[in-house]
Amino acid sequence: MSSRPAWHPDAEKRLRKVPFFIRPFVRKRAEGVAAERGLPQVTSQLLDEIKEREHKAG
């Protein structure tokens, strides 16, 4: 089993701005998408893509 993707410092900074009760969901979702795509790192760009996709779905 592969390890969890690392977090780029900018993405980690953005995660800290997410309300604490939502943060675990956002972290898990971002790491899952990064793993699905074979990315070694969660970036701010990836967070933007996920946010855009989630807003379109909702």
Could you give the domains of the chain?
Answer: 6-57 (1.10.8.550)
Q: DSSP string spanning 7-28?
A: E-HHHHHHHHHS-TTTHHHHHH
Prediction pTM value: 0.87
- Average pLDDT by consecutive 10-residue portion of the chain (58 residues)? 86 97 97 97 98 87
> What is the Cα 50 distance to its own chain's centre?
7
Residue 29, pLDDT score: 97
